[in-house]
Chain A
Amino acid sequence: MDYKYIEQLLERYWACETSLQEEQILRTFFQQEEVPAHLIAYKYIFDVQQEQAKGTLGEDFDAKMMELISEQGEVLPSEGVESRMVKALPLGGAGKGTVWRLRLRPFYQAAGLVALILTIGMAAQRSFDEEVQPQHTQYAQTDTVECPADEFVTMPQQQEAALTSEKVDSISLTR
């Protein structure tokens, strides 16, 4: 095999005149096991280069990296919130009172909501009661109508009884 081309390439390689493609040819050439004796010295150089090209970082590095980056992502917004909070307090103005009012706002809202539900509930119940009450009054009216009827029915009997007793008395008196 003729190694002139390779030797030529090598000379130009030392002189830094080779293109990237030509350097790739040299690299592939020196990757083979059998290299002519006069070129063996240079094989080691290329072998070391090949070896150095294998230096890589593993998956665990990726995981660590993602963790570090996500940590940063969390830190930045929370800092923003804190600074916003710090600004919000002086803007609130008149000291502790307003701060307390702000803090109690949820409770006010809850109390308002409860009051609203109660009023709606009571109103609903009242309207429900109103639907039921007229029936009672009707019954009550009929009761009052019936009651006098009974009285009228019973009254004459009582009166008759009274009359008969009076009659008996008068009869007995006359006797």
Chain B
Amino acid sequence: MLPLKNRLYRLALRITLNPAEAEDAVQDTLIRVWEHREEWEQIDSIEAYAHTICRNIALDMAGKAGRGNVQLNEEIRVKNSQFSIEEKFDQKERLSLVRKIMDTLPEVQRSIMELRDIEGKTYQEIGNILKLTESQVKVYLHRARTSIRQRAEEIEKYGL
């Protein structure tokens, strides 16, 4: 159970974009999974099960916090305009910019990117967690990667 915590935490963090909320989400997830320990034998993959629960809890939290994404978008626009004035910006700022770009992706794309690129899960596993088909997962991931690629290239070209 506890070895799952870091994976769940990272997924929750991608969704809530708030470390404290992500930690709470993992805590609630583990408790809920623990409460259903009688059913563990009937569940194919406890990991996928825990991920699904964690995602739902984190989504609830993000929904309650509300408008998090919108605020971030605005913030980035402000930051971008600031950066466009400067000719060059150092590596740290670029990193934080890419981070922000990733955070502004729709939640599904963020979650899929997290599960694929960071946790190294197969499309089938991701589909199980998000209750999507493999091809749906691929479509979302493709959108996520494409938009990140575009933004990264724009930043490189124009310093935006």
Binds A, one of B26-34, B42-50, B64-72, B73-81: B26-34
Q: Is the interface of A mostly helix, strand, loop or mixed?
A: helix
Q: Write out, one digit per residue, whether chain B residues 102-113 have a CB within 8 A of any chain A CB (1) or not (0).
A: 100000000000
- Residues 55-97 (chain B) with a chain A CB within 8 angstroms: 91, 94-95, 97
Query: Which residues of chain A come closer than 8 Å to B146, judged between CB atoms?
Result: 14
With A57-B5, A57-B26 already in contact, the answer to whether A14 and B149 are too (CB < 8 A) is yes
**In the bound complex, do residue B10 and residue A69 qualify as a contact, i.e. CB atoms below 8 Å apart?**
no
**In the bound complex, do residue A41 and residue B152 qualify as a contact, i.e. CB atoms below 8 Å apart?**
yes
Binding site for A on B (CB under 8 A): 2, 5-6, 9-10, 13-14, 19, 23, 26-27, 30-31, 34-35, 91, 94-95, 97-99, 102, 114, 116-118, 120, 122, 138, 141-142, 145-146, 148-149, 152-153, 155-156
Q: Could you tell me the distance in whole angstroms from the C-beta of B118 to the nearest C-beta in chain A? A: 5
With A16-B138, A45-B152, A57-B5 already in contact, the answer to whether A68 and B102 are too (CB < 8 A) is no
Query: Which residues of chain A come closer than 8 Å to B99, judged between CB atoms?
Result: 48, 51-52
Q: Could you tell me the distance in whole angstroms from the C-beta of A69 to the nearest C-beta in chain B? A: 6
